[in-house]
Amino acid sequence: MLLAAGAAGLLAAMAMMIVRAIMGPSHYDRILAVNSFGTKTVLLLALVGFLFGRPAFLDIAIVYALINFVTTIALMKFFRYRSLAQPLATRADEEARHG
């Protein structure tokens, strides 16, 4: 019962994230929405596994937590640098460049 209530709450939170992803206004808002949506998805998957009596499917939640990160970094990098191939600079690189 409590688990079902938790799943309902997570679905509501996911719906709000979808609204933010559709509304924007900036692309960073959308990336934020996707990232947060992904975290909520991980939780929902874990809950659903317990709700349906097959908690072995937590594997999928683990993979979400990992892939969500890759996607967020790809989107962030795309919007910030317009490239997928450039390395991300460190402070040391930057200081070397500016002396």
Partner 1 sequence: MIAEPTFFDVNLAIDIVLLVMLLVVAGAIVRTRSLLTAIILFGIYSLVSAVWLVVMDAPDVAFTEAVVGAGISTIVLLGAILLTRGEAERGDWRRLIAPALVCVTVGGVLIYAATGLPALGDASSPVNAYVGRAYLEAAPNDIGVPNTVTAVLASYRGFDTFGEVVVIFAAGVGVALMLGFGPRASLAPPPQVMGDHHVVLRVAAKLLIPLIALYALYVQFHGDLGAGGGFQAGVIMAAAVILHALVFGLRETMAAVTPKVARSVASLGVLLYAGVGVVCMMNGGLFLDYDYLFPPHIEKEIPGWLLGGPESAHHWGQHFGIMLIELGVLLTVAATMVTIFYGFAGRSVDDAQREAKR
Partner 2 sequence: MADVLAWIGGGFVVVGVALSVLGAVGVLRFPDVYTRIHAASITDTGGASLVLLGLCLISGFSLITLKLALIWAFVMLTAPVAANALANAAFGSGHKPRIGAFQIVRTDERRKTPRGTDAT
Partner 3 sequence: MTFFLSHFNYFAVAVLMMAGLFIVFSSGNLIKRTIGLAIFQTATGLFYISLGKVTGGTAPIVVEPGSAEARELASRLDPAYLAQHGVDGVVYSNPLPSVLILTAIVVGVATLAVGLAIAVRIREAYGSVEADEIEVLSRVESTQPGPRA
Q: How far apart are CA 31 and CA 69, in angstroms?
A: 11
Tokens of 17: 């994230």
Task: Tell me how far the alpha carbon of residue 90 is from its chain's centroid.
Answer: 24
Which of partner 2, partner 1, partner 3, none binds 53 (CB below 5-8 Å, type-dependent)?
Answer: partner 3
Task: Tell me how far the alpha carbon of residue 50 is from its chain's centroid.
Answer: 22
By CB under 8 A, the residues from 50 to 79 that bind partner 1 are 51-52, 56-57, 59-60, 62-64, 66-71, 73-75, 77-79
By CB under 8 A, the residues from 31 to 70 that bind partner 2 are 31-33, 35-36, 39-40, 42-43, 46-47, 50, 55-56, 58-59, 61-62, 65-66, 68-69
